[in-house]
Amino acid sequence: MQIKYRRATIEDLQSLHSMEILVFPKEQYHTTPRRQYRYILTKANAEIWVAEQDKIVIGAVVIFFRKNSFFGRLYSLAVHPDYRNLSIGKNLFLKAEKVIKSKNLIGLILEARADNKQLSSFYKKLGCVQVRTIDNYHPDACEALKFKKTF
């Protein structure tokens, strides 16, 4: 299986939106509307990278940058359920790290659902440290765990 990693383009808009709907149920997550993806792809101080197999997007990572911050924000990391446990999430995370480092930033921040122990463990294995808990963060009032990784 050949998986290609590349920067997303406007042609990926529908695939990114479809992945969002599939991976992040609205009852549990604040989801990104299609028009917001268009803005991220064309105007935002951000980058989206995708994993694709046979020209089909099977994973994506969204990274935001702020002018007054030394950290990049890993906003979203999604892998199609049929392609999990193939290191795609890890490779997208490492790509995000590389992009953030290339902008001379000192680290990254991200949030994860407090009830998703597998995801928290994944981020910890990649060197992230939990720095705080945010109450009532998600639509279903679940807490979020904020993580930070300094390079």
Residue 12 phi, psi dihedral angles, 5° rounding: -90, 0
- The predicted-structure confidence for 27-51, as pLDDT tens digits, reads as follows 999 999 999 999 999 999 999 999 9
Rounded (10°) CA dihedral 20, 24, 29, 31 = 10
Burial class (CB in 10 A: 0-12, 13-18, 19+), 105: middle
State the pLDDT confidence band at 17, using cuts at 50, 70 and 90. very high
Q: Are the CB atoms for 80 and 89 separated by under 8 Å?
A: no
Count of positions (residues) in the chain: 151
- The predicted-structure confidence for 80-120, as pLDDT tens digits, reads as follows 999 999 999 999 999 999 999 999 999 999 999 999 999 99
**Per-residue model confidence (pLDDT) at position 37:** 96
**Per-residue model confidence (pLDDT) at position 108:** 98
Structure token digits, residue 104: 């001379």
How far is the C-alpha of 81 from the C-alpha of 102, rounded, in Å? 30
How far is the C-alpha of 83 from the C-alpha of 85, rounded, in Å? 7
**Per-residue model confidence (pLDDT) at position 48:** 98
Kindly report the average pLDDT of the chain as a whole number.
Answer: 97
**Per-residue model confidence (pLDDT) at position 21:** 95
- pLDDT score of 1 more than 80: no
| Complete domains list, the chain, with CATH | 4-150 (3.40.630.30)
**Per-residue model confidence (pLDDT) at position 64:** 98
State the pLDDT confidence band at 131, using cuts at 50, 70 and 90. very high
Q: Determine what percent of the chain is predicted with pLDDT higher than 90.
A: 99
**Per-residue model confidence (pLDDT) at position 16:** 97
72 SS3 class: strand
